[in-house]
């Protein structure tokens, strides 16, 4: 058994917000980031398609030597994680693991909300899957969860329009729609890895007293705890402090957009899936 990097997968650039927090918490490990930018967004795609694309990405990351893969995408975590774990892991390699980011995000909720009314802003796919309310029901049955799909937020981020005046209309629109559904919400979770790029605007339209939570630091803390509790998996994760990047789109495009998310020069390679 050769130790390998930890694989971080997202449909596009959003997972970089998770990668950043994971590397901040655990800089000693090696990482491979894979963005399926050529086929993003996943948020409006069917269950079958998201599952198929995610399975291909997991297989590719396993093929690159990763023993542990994190789906740093809520849509993939909501629509594909369980299927990959149940249908594919045994066949691919029962010793490897795939983790999602919804469970660790939900685990953080109990200590964050006082009113016990929480809002989730996410892609259409994540909201329709009802993954957040289902997980919350298991862990915190007293918390009322209300979801609001924000279908235009990912395109705004992917097209580098997050800071533009045009983004304001759509940021306000979905926040208003969420709070209209439940005015008792005191905590809003950004349940899409792209949304931290809109954080400033989101905060500016959120009424005072409502906290906006990005999931990255909770996912990072949970992964750290997972590796502490799973020493066998920890041994399978190489520790050279390196990070490499792969995209299914053009390398130049990835480098230019990734600079919005990361404050460091990166080397990127092209790959294909499927
Ligand atoms: N980053 C993905 C998520 O967290 C959404 C992007 C997409 O729609 O592909 O849900």
pLDDT above 90: residue 218: yes
DSSP SS3 for 85 = helix
**Containing structural domain, residue 68:** 6-100+217-270
State the average pLDDT for the chain: 96
Per-residue pLDDT tens over the stretch 165-217: 999 999 999 999 999 999 999 999 999 999 999 999 999 999 999 999 999 99
Ligand 1 proximity of 14 Cβ (cutoff 6 Å): yes
Residues 55 and 136 in one domain: no
Q: Which pLDDT belongs to residue 160?
A: 84
| Domains held by the chain: number | 2
Q: Counting atoms of ligand 1 from 1, which one is nearest the CA of 41? A: 9
Residues 43 and 89 in one domain: yes
In a domain, 1, yes or no: no
Mean pLDDT of 141-153: 97
Residues 125 and 90 in one domain: no
Residues 6+ apart with CB under 8 A from 12: 35, 36, 37, 40, 41, 154, 158, 194
Q: Which pLDDT belongs to residue 159?
A: 84
Q: Counting atoms of ligand 1 from 1, which one is nearest the CA of 43? A: 8
- Token pair for residue 251? 């390398």
Spacing, Cα 19 to ligand 1 middle (Å): 14
Which domain-ending residue is among 196, 214, 232? 214
User: Considering the chain, what percentage of its residues have pLDDT values greater than 70?
Assistant: 100
Decide if 43 contacts 75 (C-beta within 8 A). Answer: yes
Residues 72 and 139 in one domain: no
CATH of the domain at 130: 3.40.50.1860
Ligand 1 proximity of 194 Cβ (cutoff 6 Å): yes
User: Considering the chain, what percentage of its residues have pLDDT values greater than 90?
Assistant: 92
Q: Which pLDDT belongs to residue 264?
A: 84
Per-residue pLDDT tens over the stretch 229-240: 999 999 999 999
Residues 158 and 226 in one domain: no
Residues 204 and 239 in one domain: no
In a domain, 120, yes or no: yes
CA 18 – CA 268 distance, rounded (Å): 18
Just list the catalytic residues: 73, 192
Residues 125 and 185 in one domain: yes
Residues 149 and 108 in one domain: yes
DSSP SS3 for 93 = coil
In a domain, 47, yes or no: yes
Residues 49 and 71 in one domain: yes
CA 44 – CA 105 distance, rounded (Å): 22
| Least-confidence region, from 60-64, 126-130, 206-210, 256-260 | 256-260
């Amino acid at each position: 058994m050769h130790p390998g990097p930890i694989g971080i997968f997202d449909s596009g650039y959003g997972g970089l917000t998770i990668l950043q927090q994971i590397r901040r918490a655990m800089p000693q490990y090696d990482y491979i980031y894979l963005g399926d930018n050529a086929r993003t967004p996943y948020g409006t795609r069917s269950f079958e398609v998201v599952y198929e694309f995610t399975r291909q990405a997991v297989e590719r990351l396993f093929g690159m030597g990763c023993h542990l893969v994190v789906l740093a995408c809520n849509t993939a975590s909501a629509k594909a994680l369980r299927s990959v774990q149940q249908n594919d892991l045994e066949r691919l390699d029962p010793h490897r693991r795939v983790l999602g980011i919804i469970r660790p995000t939900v685990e953080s909720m109990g200590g964050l909300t006082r009113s016990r009314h929480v809002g989730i802003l996410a892609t259409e796919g994540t909201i329709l899957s009802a993954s957040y309310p289902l997980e919350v029901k298991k862990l915190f049955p007293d918390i009322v969860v209300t979801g609001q799909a924000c279908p235009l937020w990912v395109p705004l981020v992917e097209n580098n329009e997050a800071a533009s005046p045009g983004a304001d209309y759509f940021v306000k629109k979905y926040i208003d729609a969420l709070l209209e559904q439940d005015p008792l919400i005191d905590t809003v979770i950004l349940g899409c890895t792209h949304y931290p790029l809109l954080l400033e605007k989101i905060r500016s339209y959120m009424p005072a007293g409502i906290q906006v939570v990005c999931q990255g630091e909770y996912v990072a803390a949970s992964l750290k705890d997972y590796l502490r509790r799973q020493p066998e998996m920890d041994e399978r994760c190489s520790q050279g402090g390196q990070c490499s990047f792969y995209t299914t789109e053009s390398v130049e495009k990835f480098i230019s957009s990734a600079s919005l998310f990361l404050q460091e020069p990166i080397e990127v390679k092209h790959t294909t899936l499927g």
